[in-house]
Amino acid sequence: MKKKRIVECVPNFSEGRNEKIINAIADAIRETSGVKLLDVDPGKSTNRTVYTFVGEPERVIQAALNSARVARKLIDMRHHSGEHPRIGALDVCPFIPISNVTMDECVELSKEFARRVSEELGIPVYLYEFAQPLEYRKKLSQIREGEYEGLAEKIQKPEWTPDFGPAEFIPEWGATVTGARNFLIAYNVNILGTKEQAHRIALNIREAGRGPKEPGLFPEVKAIGWWVEEYNLAQVSINFTNYKVTPPHIVFEEIKRQANELKIAVVGSELVGLIPLEAILMAADYYIEKEGLFVLEEDQKIRLAVERLGLNSISKFIPNKKIIEYLVAEEPEEPLARASVRDFIQKIAARTPTPGGGSASAAIAAIGTALACMVAQLTYGVRKFEHLTEQLRKVIPPLYFGTKELISMIDADSNAFDQYMQALKLPKSTAQEIEKRELAIEESLKNAIQVPFEVMKLADSCWDALIEVAKIGNIASKSDVEIGAKALETGIWGAYRNVLINLPNIKDEEFREKILRESEFIVAKARENLEKALLIIETRT
């Protein structure tokens, strides 16, 4: 199946107070077929609205053009003022690769947008970031220097000739900046202090610092301090240009430390636009380690990060509206794993080759690890078992995540078999077709073997944890551990039989011998571990 290509576009328009204009621009994006408007974030003090939308590359360009057309009619920069630096009505319009799209492709998208918008609207356009080859005008701050008020003089200088459009000042518009960049996190930390105190902290943390002789603490961080009238507080306003280099939670903690030194209070933070799931989970893992917590489930990790960062302080942080992966995610294509137990078993019983023994083996193994995980979690947190807390914290994660991974293999096995059947149907009329067909059969067979072999390895990796649960789990749940152990061994044996049935047809002798050797070792080990687990349970009673 062809994977969807997703580009994010985050145009910033210099209007944050007039709801009719804000909504008209949003409608222009929303009504463009093939795109999804994810977020509209207006600010009265900044007099600026950030729109976030995603879609296929060509549709994203169209939506950006549609929004620019509306802004050309409705926004007049001659009457604009606000806290945020700006150079034009559509101040900046970046294109960001999200899924199955490269940065180079986004560079070309930004150039195509610049060409079309400059020609149609008669406006000057500058390129920035990855789309701009000239170092002195690569950063947004370099292009914005002097802002809208200084543009009339700046645009006349040869070194500041626009990349597209007329080299002249358009009073009602200004200029637009477009390009391709990494995912940017716009994030504000709330300060019960003055604008000047917030800006002092901003100068300390941002990469540029106070200048070349006094750089700031964090790379890939831009920041300024400002006062937000509608919130009645100051903010350190931050852009993280690469959150993998410097993540928000590290900066948040540093701002808290510096605010404490200044005897001023930090009262949470605010996300402007969207954030990648990874950044939230990085924050959660940081606080889990720092505080010695035990949190496994993704939604609980998100809640932890939101609470520690105070992301509910201005408005409620809703993960499904703020985390980009949740917004653009499509339903996972796992028809078997997502089916009811009744439907799954009936599909196995049907007169079709899939799902078959491979999918059943993955499901049986997953039931085995799930039962062990259940017993461990029922033991954890109970007062009379508190002395086992550290041991349980070690055994629950491999069982919890092992179960999730094994569930995903249910559909993987059926998909692998279907690919093999498709290879068998390839034409074989010519020598070239025969060669191509044989290669496809060999590769699909290897894949059909690798899937149950992976099931074996995943299941095998859970034995130590299961045996530990047999030793320390609540003995009242002994039958659950026994059934779990037997199911895990059966799942491994079943996956092993699925490996064996296809292995003789593989021509690659080295591959065949390696898989056979390792799978025989795992299945023999499973028999031993089953006996060990059952003996432990029997001895405890």
The reported pLDDT for the residue numbered 237 is: 97
Tell me if 335 is assigned to some domain: no
CATH number of the domain within which 260 lies: 3.30.70.670
Is residue 330's pLDDT more than 70? no
Tell me if 336 is assigned to some domain: no
Is residue 515's pLDDT more than 90? yes
d(CA 186, CA 194): 21
Picking from 301, 328, 355, the residue at the C-terminal end of a domain is 328
Enter the pTM of the model: 0.77
Tell me if 324 is assigned to some domain: yes
CA distances from 54 to 36, 232, 466, 525 (A): 5, 33, 44, 49
Summarize pLDDT for 384-430 with one digit per residue, the tens: 999 999 999 999 999 999 999 999 999 998 889 888 889 999 999 99
**Which amino acids are annotated catalytic?**
84, 413
Element (H, E) at 421: helix 389-424
Q: Are residues 172 and 193 in the same domain?
A: no
Q: Are residues 402 and 520 in the same domain?
A: yes
CATH number of the domain within which 38 lies: 3.30.990.10
Is residue 3's pLDDT more than 70? no
Is residue 358's pLDDT more than 70? yes
Picking from 112, 145, 180, the residue at the C-terminal end of a domain is 180
The reported pLDDT for the residue numbered 4 is: 76
% pLDDT > 90, the chain: 90
Is residue 328's pLDDT more than 80? no
- Provide the domain count of the chain: 3
Q: Which two tokens stand for residue 90?
A: 């559509």
Q: Are residues 247 and 359 in the same domain?
A: no
Burial of 68 (0-12, 13-18, 19+ CB in 10 A): buried
d(CA 412, CA 402): 15
Is residue 151's pLDDT more than 70? yes
Q: Are residues 95 and 189 in the same domain?
A: no
Identify whether the C-beta of residue 485 lies closer than 8 Å to the C-beta of residue 470: yes
Average confidence (pLDDT) over 97-126:
96
Q: Are residues 55 and 40 in the same domain?
A: yes
More confident residue, 526 or 416: 526
Average confidence (pLDDT) over 279-299:
97
The reported pLDDT for the residue numbered 282 is: 97
Q: Are residues 124 and 246 in the same domain?
A: no
CATH number of the domain within which 379 lies: 1.20.120.680
Identify whether the C-beta of residue 110 lies closer than 8 Å to the C-beta of residue 11: no
Average confidence (pLDDT) over 141-157:
96
CA–centroid distance for 450 within its chain: 27
Number of helical H runs and strand E runs in the chain: 18, 11
Summarize pLDDT for 159-213 with one digit per residue, the tens: 999 999 999 999 999 999 999 999 899 999 999 999 999 999 999 999 999 999 9
Q: Alpha-carbon torsion 70, 72, 74, 75, what sign? A: positive
Average pLDDT over the chain, rounded to an integer = 95
% pLDDT > 70, the chain: 98
Average confidence (pLDDT) over 232-255:
96
Is residue 325's pLDDT more than 90? no
Tell me if 133 is assigned to some domain: yes
The reported pLDDT for the residue numbered 1 is: 41
Full domain range(s) for residue 214: 185-328
Identify whether the C-beta of residue 91 lies closer than 8 Å to the C-beta of residue 178: no
497 contacts: CB under 8 Å, gap ≥ 6 = 357, 361
Q: Which two tokens stand for residue 206?
A: 């941002």
The reported pLDDT for the residue numbered 418 is: 86
Of 165, 181, 193, 327, nearest in space to 241 by CA: 181
**Local confidence band at 313 (pLDDT 50, 70, 90 cut-offs):** very high
Q: Are residues 361 and 241 in the same domain?
A: no
Is residue 452's pLDDT more than 50? yes
Picking from 141, 160, 180, the residue at the C-terminal end of a domain is 180
Summarize pLDDT for 118-135 with one digit per residue, the tens: 999 999 999 999 999 999
Is residue 233's pLDDT more than 60? yes
Identify whether the C-beta of residue 198 lies closer than 8 Å to the C-beta of residue 149: no
Instruction: State the number of CA atoms in the 13 A half-sphere of 537 facing the CB.
Output: 26
Q: Are residues 354 and 445 in the same domain?
A: yes
Element (H, E) at 357: helix 357-379
Is residue 375's pLDDT more than 90? yes
Q: Residue 516 carries which side chain, given as an amino acid letter?
A: L
Tell me if 334 is assigned to some domain: no
Identify whether the C-beta of residue 392 lies closer than 8 Å to the C-beta of residue 472: yes
Q: Are residues 77 and 160 in the same domain?
A: yes
The reported pLDDT for the residue numbered 274 is: 87
Q: Are residues 367 and 324 in the same domain?
A: no
Q: Are residues 141 and 197 in the same domain?
A: no
The reported pLDDT for the residue numbered 420 is: 87
The sheet with strand 221-228 has its strands ordered as 221-228, 233-240, 185-192, 265-272
The reported pLDDT for the residue numbered 5 is: 87
Is residue 2's pLDDT more than 60? no
The DSSP bridge partners found for residue 270 are: 188
Q: Residue 266 carries which side chain, given as an amino acid letter?
A: V
Q: Are residues 391 and 364 in the same domain?
A: yes
